[in-house]
């Protein structure tokens, strides 16, 4: 038995065994697939998990530019065309960082605010505070 440092209660320690990837896989799929199908799936997963060649994204198909009618034949040509005509793709634009709001330090500001509040509350007239609607 172990005692909790915070509250002093006795805690029962459980022996946690770390499961292998295969055990986790079987725990998840065994009820759905069954033992034999689960074994096959695990073997397939092991053989197909590692690819011998890198994954490569194919180039874009050519298209006619809507700006000047020229033929855009590749991704790099597309990027250069956008830069040349000062365009950007919608959804890929970079947002400019927002500047913090400028603080206006006007010494008369506090006085103007106070006067507006006093006028609204009719403060100081007849010794009472009355709210004007």
Mean pLDDT of all residues in 34-40: 88
pLDDT reported for residue 74: 92
- How far apart are alpha carbons 71 and 64 in whole angstroms? 5
pLDDT reported for residue 17: 60
Is residue 24 within 8 Å of 18, Cβ to Cβ?
no
| Percent of the residues in the chain that have a pLDDT greater than 70, as a whole number | 81
- How far apart are alpha carbons 71 and 102 in whole angstroms? 47
Question: Which residue reads 């038995």 in tokens?
Answer: 1
> CA 36, 41, 43, 47: dihedral to nearest 10 degrees?
160
Within 8 A by CB and 6+ apart from 2, the residues are 10, 11, 12, 13
pLDDT tens-digit readout, 94-124: 778 888 877 777 778 888 888 888 888 776 6
The Cα diameter of the chain in Å comes to: 94
pLDDT tens-digit readout, 64-102: 999 999 999 999 999 999 999 998 888 777 778 888 877
- Lowest-pLDDT choice from 13-27, 34-48, 54-68, 103-117: 13-27
Binned at pLDDT 50, 70 and 90, residue 56 comes out as: confident
Q: The pTM is what? A: 0.32
> What distance lies between CA 88 and its chain's CA centroid?
22
Q: Pairing between strand 2-3 and 10-11?
A: antiparallel
Which of 39, 35, 7 shows the shortest CA–CA distance to 22?
39
């Amino acid at each position: 038995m172990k005692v909790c440092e915070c509250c002093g209660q006795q805690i029962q320690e459980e022996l946690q065994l770390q499961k292998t990837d295969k055990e986790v896989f079987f725990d998840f799929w065994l009820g759905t697939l069954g033992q034999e199908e689960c074994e096959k799936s695990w073997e397939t997963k092991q053989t197909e998990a590692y690819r011998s060649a890198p994954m490569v994204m194919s180039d874009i198909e050519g298209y006619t530019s809507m700006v000047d009618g020229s033929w855009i034949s590749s991704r790099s040509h597309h990027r250069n065309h956008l830069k040349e005509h000062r365009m950007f793709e919608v959804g890929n634009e970079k947002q400019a960082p927002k500047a913090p709001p400028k603080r206006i330090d006007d010494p008369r500001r506090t006085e103007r605010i106070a006067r507006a509040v006093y006028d609204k509350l009719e403060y100081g007239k007849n010794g009472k505070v009355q709210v004007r609607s």
